[in-house]
Amino acid sequence: MKNILIIEDDQSIANLQKDYLELSGYSVRIVGNGADGINALKEETFDLVILDIMLPGMDGFEVLKMIREQEDIPVLLVSARSEEIYKINGFGLGADDYITKPFSSGELVARVNAHLNKFERMKERFGKAREGSKLQVRGLEVQKDARRVFVNGKEVMLAQKEFDLLLFLLEHANRVFSKEELFERIWGMDALGDASTVTVHIARIREKIEETPSKPQYIGTVWGSGYRFIV
C-alpha cells in the first residue's frame, strides 16, 4: 500500500482528500504545517507528498526546498494562487505538479495515480541499468542507476526533474531540443505548467554543475532553438 503525506492547514480540505485517497487504496497521514511535515518525513517512509503552498509558519515553497534536500519522491503542490509566477517557482524548486484550488477529488486521485505510476516506471527503468553504469564527459559523471551526479569528483545534489533533464540531454548529446520538446519529454503532455519551467531548471542545473554558469561547458544555449549537451 502506497503511503501519502498531506501537508495542509485546512482540516476540512485535508480530510476530504484523505477520504478519497483511502477509498482508492492509499494510506494517508495529515499534518497541518511545514515543520510537522518535515518531521513526518523523517519518521516514516512516504511515496508521495501533497503540499499546500499557503501554510502557517514556513510556506510550501520553503517546505519543498527542505523536502528536496532529503527526499526524491513526487511532490504535488496545491494552491488557490493561479498566477504563473507561483507555478514557475514551484516547478523550479522541484515540484512534480501544481494543482489550482478548487479542484475535484477525482482529479487529485488521478494525478496521484499518474505520478506514482510514472515514478515506479522510472525506478524500474533505472533499476534495470547494470550496476555501476555511468556516463562521463570531461569532469562530469552521471551514475544512471544510483541517480547521482559528480563534478570533478565532488557529488552535487539534483532534484528529480533536474536529474531527469540533465540525463536526457546527456544521452542525446549535441542534439538541440526546444524548450517545448524538453517540457514534453520530461514533464509529459499532461503536466500542468509551460515550457518556461525548462529555463528555470536549466539555470538551476548550471548553477550546480558549471564552473561558470554564464559560460556553460556542458549545457549550451542555441539561441532561437533551445538547448544541447556539449561534447
For residue 222, what are the domain limits? 129-229
Task: Give the domain-ending residue among 126, 144, 178.
Answer: 126
Cell numbers for 15, please give them. 480530510
* 141, 95: one domain: no
Task: Give the domain-ending residue among 126, 150, 175.
Answer: 126
Q: Model's pTM, two decimal places?
A: 0.59
Q: Specify the pLDDT at position 142.
A: 93
Q: Specify the pLDDT at position 72.
A: 79
* 19, 106: one domain: yes
* 119, 12: one domain: yes
Q: Specify the pLDDT at position 125.
A: 57
- Indicate the DSSP class of residue 144: T
Q: Specify the pLDDT at position 47.
A: 93
Q: What is the CATH number of the domain that holds 173?
A: 1.10.10.10
Q: What is the CATH number of the domain that holds 101?
A: 3.40.50.2300
* 102, 136: one domain: no
State CA 5 to chain mean position distance.
16
pLDDT in tens, the chain (231 residues): 899 999 999 999 999 999 999 999 999 999 999 999 999 998 888 999 999 999 999 999 999 988 987 787 899 999 988 888 898 888 888 888 999 988 888 899 999 999 999 888 766 655 444 444 788 898 999 998 889 999 999 999 999 899 999 999 998 888 889 998 899 888 875 555 577 889 999 999 999 999 999 999 999 998 888 999 998
- From residue 5, alpha-carbon distances to 39, 44, 50, 119 in Å are 11, 10, 6, 16
Task: Give the domain-ending residue among 76, 107, 126.
Answer: 126
State the Cα angle at 80 between 76 and 84, rounded to 5°. 75
Q: Specify the pLDDT at position 132.
A: 47
Amino acid at residue number 181: E
**209, 217 contact by CB (below 8 A):** no
* 100, 141: one domain: no
Number of structural domains found in the chain = 2
* 45, 101: one domain: yes
* 11, 111: one domain: yes
State the Cα angle at 68 between 135 and 209, rounded to 5°. 40
